[in-house]
Structures are given as structure tokens and as C-alpha cells.
Amino acid sequence: MVVCSTGTSGGIHKIFPVNDKYIENLGYLLAVSSLITSKHFSDKIDEKGKKMAFLYNRLESKTPSGLALSSSFTSYFMSDYFKNRPSKCNSEYTSPDQVILCPDNNQSVYCHLLCGLSQREKVVGVSATFAHALIKAINALQIYWKELSSNIRSGHVSEWITDLDCKNAVSAILGGPDPELADVIEQECSHKSWEGIITRLWPKAKFIECIVTGQMAQYIPTLDFYSNKLPIVSMVYGSSESIFGVNVDPLSKPQDVSYTFLPNISYFEFLPIDHEEDMNTIVDLVDVKLGCYYETVVTSYFGLHRYLIGDILQVTGFYNNTPQFRFVRRKNIVLSVNSEATTEQDILKGLASATLVLESSNSMLTGFTCYADISSFPGHYVFYWELKAKDVDDVVELDENVLEECCYALEESFDALYKRLRSKEGSIGALEIKVVQQGTFDSLMEYFISKGGSVAQYKTPMCINSSETLAVLEDKVIARFYSQKSPPLNL
Ligand code: AMP
């Protein structure tokens, strides 16, 4: 079996041969993580509680030599390990396996929502792998809520759900017509504002579970808005190459989340980050030092030997003797048009202050990415933003002053070198925000998926460095704004 990485965090798709141990590891990680969440939330969860989990499958393809090629989650969902998992007998999810296994992601998100709505009183947690997949599910709810409630009213699943296994399983869950529930859904969804929609539709939900560390941090404000600030639990850290760790303290704030490495998964070593790929400086898991930064090096049970993952981590503590790491950033993802190096962290910091400025307008940020434009001189940073009105039926108003202030807020939070090059030397041009049409970031995702990615593992790339990907965005630009003043120099 061969798995394919999404290519959305490192830029390129990679394929890896894996064996059953890989699937077993993934099952083990999910079981450990589910034990930890139920331990932390058990006093608040009644016995019949379920998770509404937006989990997806994708069709397997073949390598040129005919081997099955899929994403890591697909290979897990297709395995006997998933089909015969022990927790299945508790029906831990609101959706039956047939919905998770449906290869058409539009049909499966619809059916996930239908199952979740029809069992709304049982939902204690709402989850997805990465935050992006959860936001996508809320967008689908905005599109389909009238149809979903009419399905619940009549007890029949829409005709366009053509995956028969999926349709039959969902019909069995619907049971029959439920006009009272349909009325509640219509009442909640027709509010002008969708603030708190998750807690309004699923009143017993106690937590949101999805990864919001690293580049997913951009979605925290939107999740807070939809969930009335339910705790966001970021449980697992892994990649197509190997699983790494689990968060043993689910209630920690997203910015404080650390992952405890699971030493039985792969053989982990660590390269101190200032020692440019000098393998002599590698240390073992037991020798990492508190506070230090490292890149993970993996030797796996299925053939990777001292493979550099490309994620930078910081040691934050120990669980018994096992080191815990905070995800800092991807190694090579920085913006630079001159000698400055703007890191993923700088971008996220800038984004946090720009979204504060945006709050004074009627819109919110639903997707972003950026790139360093050096096609003209001086080069400048370009941010692509997709905006959405806070109230469902409103249209986004592009307030020039607010968006120019957002450009400035981004620049103001970059480092001293950026500011010097921009304000004193003039060798970086004014930062630009290009607002794109609604749905652009969905098109970007479809583009990546057409190249072999999967919805479950998709992460909007924080920076773009391929002209093909840029073309997807450039086609959809509807307005451009520039920073009108230079950021102050840090003296
Ligand atoms: P992929 O193999 O395409 O699924 O991408 C794996 C990459 O996603 C990792 O190397 C990380 O950069 C990122 N990633 C996965 N889990 C987390 C997490 N919990 N926090 C931050 N980044 C993550």
C-alpha cells in the first residue's frame, strides 16, 4: 500500500510505501486520543453522548506500477482495523461508517449534517481532523439547511444522495418524519446572525475537537464565533510519514498546546535547528532539552531512514519522562522579498492583529494565503483574503479604510528587519491585500485535491510558491488594497 501526503503544508505531494503497522499506529493514536477526551469530559457527558465527526474518505487511485494509492486516513478507514474497531459497538459517531466511507465528499458532508441534526440531543462533541474541515461543514450547513430540515420533516433523504449504502444507512437513522425537529432547525438557522450556531443547534455540545495548532490557528476566531467559544481541543499531531504525538491536556488553550511524543510509533531523533542538516548533532528523544528547538528525524517501521520531517518543534515539558513539544512552524515556509525572513509565526501574529481591525466592519475572514511578489521592484507581500458578512444574508462591504488599516496592522507586527527594509530603505513595497470572491478557497482546495490531496488532511497553504496555484487565486481577485503608511521602525 502507498500513501500520498496532501502537499498543502510542505508544498509538494510525496508518496510513501506503508504496511499494516502504519494503519495500526493510526488506530492506536485515535484510540488514545479518544480515551483522553472522554476522561476529561466524562463528568459532563451523559452515557449516550456521541461525536458528530466530519470524517471523509477519498477514492483510491493507482501508482503507475498499479499499487493502490490513497491518503493516510483513507487507508485507515478502508482497513479492517477501522471496520472492526472496538469503539464501533458504542456507535461513537452520529454518522454510520457508510457516510464516512462514501467517496463523494459533497454527499458525505450532507449526510454527516443530516445524521448530526437528527440526533442533536446526543451530540456532545463536534469534530474534524483539521479546523478547515469543520469550517467547510458549517459552510455546507449554510447552503443546505432548508433542504436538511425538509428531509427531517419528511423522513426522506434527498434524491441527489445517490450512494446507496450511505443513503440506506442515513434513512435508518432518520427513522421517519420529525416535523418538530425540522421547526427547531429552521428557527435557529433563519436567525440573521450565525453566531453560536453550533451551540444553538447542538445544545449539549461541550467541545470542538480539531487541530488548531500551526497554520490552522487562523481558523480559531471563526470557530469561536460559530461555537460561542466552546473549548477547542487539539488532540493529535501526525503526518503521512509518521504519527508523532498526542495532547494529554486537552483543555489547554490552543496557543499552549503541546504534543507528547509516542515513542513506540517510530524511532524519533531530533536535529537542533541551528545545525543545518548536520547529522552529527542529532540527539535521541531522551536527550532533548527543555526550551530548545528541533526538527524531527524519523526512522519508521516501513522504510524511512532518518527522514527530516520539516516541522520545527520546541520542547515545553515532560509527561513522566516523555518529552512534550509545541508545534512552532514548518521549516521552509517563510515570506521573503529581500534579506528579511518572515516566518509562519510572524504571519499568524500579524493576522491576529489585522482580524482585530476587521472586527469593526461587517465582515470576517474565512480564508487567507500569501506570497512574496518579486515580479516588480521593490518586491512586496501579497495577502489573498476571502471575506464573508457576519450576518448570513448580508453582502460583504469592502470598507477601504478598514482594509488599508488591516494592511498596516500586518506590517506593524512583522520584525525589525522587515520594517527597516520597508520604511527606511524602501526595498520592500507596501503590503497588498487582494480580496477574492467567495468560494475561492474552496476552489483552491479542489485544485489541491485534484492533484492527489484529501479533504480530511487538507490545510490551506499559508504561503504560495507555485505559479499554477497563484493562477487559481488571481482569477478570483475582486479588489485590492495597499498599506497607506510605513510601519514604525523598532529602535
Ligand atoms: P500531511 O502529511 O499532508 O497530512 O501533512 C502533515 C503536516 O501537517 C505535518 O508535518 C505538520 O506540518 C502539519 N500538522 C499535522 N498535525 C499538526 C498539528 N497537530 N499541529 C500543527 N501542524 C500539524
* pLDDT exceeds cutoff 60 at 109: yes
244 CB under 6 A from ligand 1?
no
* pLDDT exceeds cutoff 60 at 46: no
Ligand 1 atom closest to the CA of 244, numbered from 1:
16
pLDDT tens sequence across 440-457: 999 999 888 887 777 777
Cell 495532547 belongs to which residue?
247
Continuous segment of H or E residues that includes residue 282:
none
CA–centroid distance, residue 139 to ligand 1 (Å): 23
Q: pTM of the predicted model, to two decimals?
A: 0.81
Q: Residues of 379-410 as b/e, b for ≥16 C-beta within 10 angstroms?
A: bbbbbbbbbbbbeeeeebeebeebbbbbbbbb
pLDDT tens sequence across 130-164: 888 898 899 899 999 999 999 999 999 999 999 99
Contacts of 344 (CB under 8 A, 6+ apart): 214, 215, 329, 330, 333, 334, 462, 463
The preferred substitution site among 69, 235, 239, 247 for testing ligand 1, maximizing ligand atoms within 8 Å of CB, is 239
Once rounded to an integer, what is the mean pLDDT over residues 56-63?
A: 81
Cell 492583529 belongs to which residue?
353
381 CB under 6 A from ligand 1?
no
d(CA 355, CA 382): 16
Once rounded to an integer, what is the mean pLDDT over residues 450-473?
A: 83
Q: How does residue 298 score in pLDDT terms, banded at 50, 70 and 90?
A: very high
CA–centroid distance, residue 9 to ligand 1 (Å): 7
CA–centroid distance, residue 273 to ligand 1 (Å): 18
pLDDT confidence of residue 314: 95
The preferred substitution site among 311, 326, 348, 451 for testing ligand 1, maximizing ligand atoms within 8 Å of CB, is 311
pLDDT confidence of residue 124: 92
Q: Find out whether 122 and 48 touch, Cβ atoms under 8 Å.
A: yes
pLDDT tens sequence across 389-440: 888 777 888 999 999 999 999 999 998 889 988 998 788 999 999 999 999 9
Concatenate the DSSP letters of all residues of 50-116 into one string. Answer: EEEEE------EE-TTS-EEE-HHHHHHTSHHHHT-GGGGGT-BSS-HHHHH-S-HHHHHHHHHHHH
The preferred substitution site among 9, 29, 236, 345 for testing ligand 1, maximizing ligand atoms within 8 Å of CB, is 9
pLDDT confidence of residue 136: 85
Cell representation of residue 156: 426522506
Once rounded to an integer, what is the mean pLDDT over residues 83-95?
A: 79
Q: Whose CA is nearest to atom 6 of ligand 1?
A: 239
Instruction: For residue 2, give the nearest of 10, 12, 13, 11 by alpha carbon.
Output: 13
Look at 5-19, 24-38, 200-214, 277-291 and tell me which has the smallest mean pLDDT: 5-19
pLDDT confidence of residue 276: 61
Instruction: For residue 218, give the nearest of 102, 323, 354 by alpha carbon.
Output: 354
Q: Whose CA is nearest to atom 19 of ligand 1?
A: 237
Continuous segment of H or E residues that includes residue 331:
none
d(CA 411, CA 421): 12
The preferred substitution site among 459, 460, 462, 463 for testing ligand 1, maximizing ligand atoms within 8 Å of CB, is 459
* pLDDT exceeds cutoff 90 at 299: yes
Residue 175 burial (C-beta neighbours within 10 Å; 0-12, 13-18, 19+): exposed
Cell representation of residue 79: 482497513
The widest CA-to-CA distance across the chain, in whole angstroms, is 70
Cell representation of residue 478: 475582486
What's phi and psi for 404, nearest 5 deg? -65, -40
CA–centroid distance, residue 267 to ligand 1 (Å): 18
pLDDT confidence of residue 47: 61
CA 429 from centre of chain: 31
311 CB under 6 A from ligand 1?
yes
Q: How does residue 237 score in pLDDT terms, banded at 50, 70 and 90?
A: very high
Q: Whose CA is nearest to atom 16 of ligand 1?
A: 237
CA–centroid distance, residue 237 to ligand 1 (Å): 6
CA–centroid distance, residue 372 to ligand 1 (Å): 23
Once rounded to an integer, what is the mean pLDDT over residues 16-26?
A: 85
* pLDDT exceeds cutoff 80 at 12: no
Q: Whose CA is nearest to atom 21 of ligand 1?
A: 214
Give the gyration radius of the chain's Cα atoms. Answer: 23
d(CA 418, CA 425): 10
pLDDT confidence of residue 357: 94
The preferred substitution site among 243, 266, 327, 344 for testing ligand 1, maximizing ligand atoms within 8 Å of CB, is 327
Residue 385 identity: W
Instruction: For residue 217, give the nearest of 119, 301, 327 by alpha carbon.
Output: 327
* pLDDT exceeds cutoff 80 at 25: yes
Continuous segment of H or E residues that includes residue 448:
helix 440-450
Mean pLDDT rounded to a whole number for the chain: 89
pLDDT confidence of residue 424: 84
Contacts of 246 (CB under 8 A, 6+ apart): 29, 32, 33, 36, 235, 236, 237, 259, 260, 262
245 CB under 6 A from ligand 1?
no
Instruction: For residue 462, give the nearest of 349, 379, 368 by alpha carbon.
Output: 368
Look at 38-52, 195-209, 300-314, 421-435 and tell me which has the smallest mean pLDDT: 38-52
240 CB under 6 A from ligand 1?
yes
* pLDDT exceeds cutoff 90 at 92: no
